[in-house]
Amino acid sequence: MMWFWLSIIALLCWSGSDLFSKIGCRGNDKYAHLKMVIAVGAVMGLHALYEILVGGVVITWGVLLTYLPVSALYILSMTIGYVGLRYIELSISSPICNSSGALVAVLCLITGGIHAVSGWQLAAVALVCVGVVGLGVVEAHEDDALREARQSASNYRYSKSALALVLPIIYCLLDALGTFADSLVLRTLNEDSANVAYELTFLLCAIVCFVYVVMIKKDHLIPKQEGPKYLGAICETAGQFAYIYAIGDEEHVMLAAPIISAYCVASVIWSRIFLKEKLSKKHYAAIAAVIAGIVILGVFDA
């Protein structure tokens, strides 16, 4: 049952990361997405050092290289996701991005990654995936009048465009591949070492972004503007820590992935409360489907 609670923790932390990342990336700063990478990489780097020096986690070049393809998929997808937050509302972006859980479940089905899964659990996975995808569809085809009303309340204006929808879709594809690859690589790697390898790779990317933004482009890091980015980075790191253990349970990876991807449901709720993005009855119906699926997965865990 530990996989279930770790998945819930990852869900809550990553929804918080969504909210703070959105606050940190919106606006006219063309380097906001790279500054977000700097923030996440800095926090993850500190956590990696703690795990190595205090936790005694063993990390080698072999582990770093073995996990590098997974790290690359995750970091690239996240960077693209940060870019997308500049062009689209969180309540639209997050559901589309996190339809990746549905793709992971499909990949597991195709490759035979099912181990004693009951009919109830399969139905729950379908319910979660339908709810997540449905939420994205509702948002993408939302009435223009409702869109204008929501944007008026949040004081931000976005227009429908191909780029705004393509970026979250690219995130979804890359993240799904990363999650599926993760479940395979973790057959041979210790979860602690894999997580530290990912964090150190993110730290390296953060250093590269810092050199580019601050030293080459001579842009400034203003503390007031960077604050939300670091809150998002802390949530992201905590969520990653829970996620790596949840997904490391190979027997339940097909169940854990849809739960974790459903953090977009909480993100939509936070966007309504804190960003003043309004929801319709169709939104709440999709959210109810996802929550029902999560409860069923928890109750019928073998």
Instruction: Determine contact, residues 39/214, Cβ cutoff 8 Å.
Output: no
Residue 142's contacts (CB-CB under 8 Å, 6 or more residues apart) are 92, 280
| The pair of three-digit structure tokens given for residue 19, joined into one six-digit string | 């909210």
Percent of the chain with pLDDT over 90: 37
Confidence of residue 208 (pLDDT cuts 50, 70, 90): very high
User: Cβ of 79: how many Cβ atoms within 10 Å?
Assistant: 19
Confidence of residue 123 (pLDDT cuts 50, 70, 90): confident
Percent of the chain with pLDDT over 70: 85
In this predicted structure, the answer to whether residue 296 has a pLDDT above a threshold of 70 is yes
Average pLDDT over residues 237-243: 87
Q: What is the pTM of this model?
A: 0.81
pLDDT at residue 35, as a whole number: 96
**Rg, the chain, Cα only:** 19
3-state SS, residue 39? helix
Instruction: Determine contact, residues 259/127, Cβ cutoff 8 Å.
Output: no
Average pLDDT over residues 233-243: 90
In this predicted structure, the answer to whether residue 38 has a pLDDT above a threshold of 90 is yes
In this predicted structure, the answer to whether residue 4 has a pLDDT above a threshold of 80 is yes
Confidence of residue 74 (pLDDT cuts 50, 70, 90): very high
- Nearest one of 286, 268, 275 to 91, comparing CA atoms: 268
Average pLDDT over residues 61-71: 95
Average pLDDT over residues 173-186: 87
In this predicted structure, the answer to whether residue 177 has a pLDDT above a threshold of 50 is yes
Question: What is the Cα 271 distance to its own chain's centre?
Answer: 15
Residue reference for tokens 């990390």:
59
pLDDT at residue 115, as a whole number: 55
pLDDT at residue 150, as a whole number: 61
| The pair of three-digit structure tokens given for residue 108, joined into one six-digit string | 């597991």
Candidate from 77-86, 119-128, 137-146, 213-222 with smallest mean pLDDT: 137-146
Instruction: Determine contact, residues 9/242, Cβ cutoff 8 Å.
Output: yes
